[in-house]
């Protein structure tokens, strides 16, 4: 079984926040791939279903949206991993990454939390070696502004790249089943190209994609 968790904060107040891009992603995964209804378990909301491999074989998958608030995401993820005996290699976490420009996407396995409290909690309460799907939301340019940045809603101007990125992550999802994160990353960026730019500065048309 594959565990795919999206990070965010519960409640309507936070629904449109940059910090909730992980929730947005797994919601799209559920609708696109026909997962069952959301229900409460593992201190979160879960949806069960299957994903096809590139060869068409169906693999069981569990989608998870921790309802513990971002800073305690690891409690929910760890509980689901332990109950289903899911390894870190079969656990993928989708979350917001301020050190990537808006719309950029990178896969990573292991390492530190880089200041992300949700990942810090997962390292402490679940496992440091889960696979990480980092969804770029840009940096406000000053570390004092980071908290307000991630807890602010995406702007109207962000919607085209945001929807393209989430759609691409959903479309390419079967590639994750082969544990080929580089291939998945490349396919996401092929489907939703975004400019390479300094995450602390707004992208311009002159920057390379």
User: Which residues have a catalytic role annotated?
Assistant: 19
Distance CA 34, CA 49 (A): 7
Residue 109, strand partner residues: 131
Distance CA 160, CA 166 (A): 10
Question: Strand, coil or helix: what is 11?
Answer: coil
User: 51: left (phi > 0), else alpha (psi -120 to 50), else beta?
Assistant: beta
Residue 17, Cβ neighbours under 10 Å: how many?
Answer: 21
Question: Strand, coil or helix: what is 31?
Answer: helix
Q: CA of 158: how far to CAs of 5, 18, 20, 30, 163, in Å?
A: 23, 10, 14, 22, 9
DSSP state of 68: S
């Amino acid at each position: 079984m594959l565990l795919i968790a999206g990070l965010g904060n519960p409640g309507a107040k936070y629904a449109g926040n940059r910090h909730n891009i992980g929730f947005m992603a797994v919601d799209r995964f559920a609708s696109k791939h026909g997962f069952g209804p959301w229900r409460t378990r593992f201190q979160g909301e879960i949806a069960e279903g299957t994903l096809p491999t590139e060869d068409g074989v169906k693999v069981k998958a569990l989608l998870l949206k921790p309802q513990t608030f971002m800073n305690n995401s690891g409690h929910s993820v760890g509980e689901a991993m332990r109950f289903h005996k899911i390894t870190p290699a079969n656990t993928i976490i989708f979350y917001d990454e301020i050190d990537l420009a808006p719309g950029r996407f990178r896969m990573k396995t292991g390492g530190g939390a880089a200041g992300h409290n949700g990942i810090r909690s997962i390292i402490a309460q679940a496992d440091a070696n889960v696979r990480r799907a980092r969804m770029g939301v840009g940096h406000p340019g000053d570390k004092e502004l980071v908290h307000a940045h991630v807890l602010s809603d995406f702007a109207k101007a962000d919607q085209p790249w945001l929807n393209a990125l989430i759609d691409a992550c959903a479309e390419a999802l079967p590639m994750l089943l082969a544990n080929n994160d580089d291939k998945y990353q490349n396919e996401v960026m092929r489907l939703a190209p975004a400019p390479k730019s300094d995450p602390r500065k707004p992208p311009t048309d002159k920057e390379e994609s």
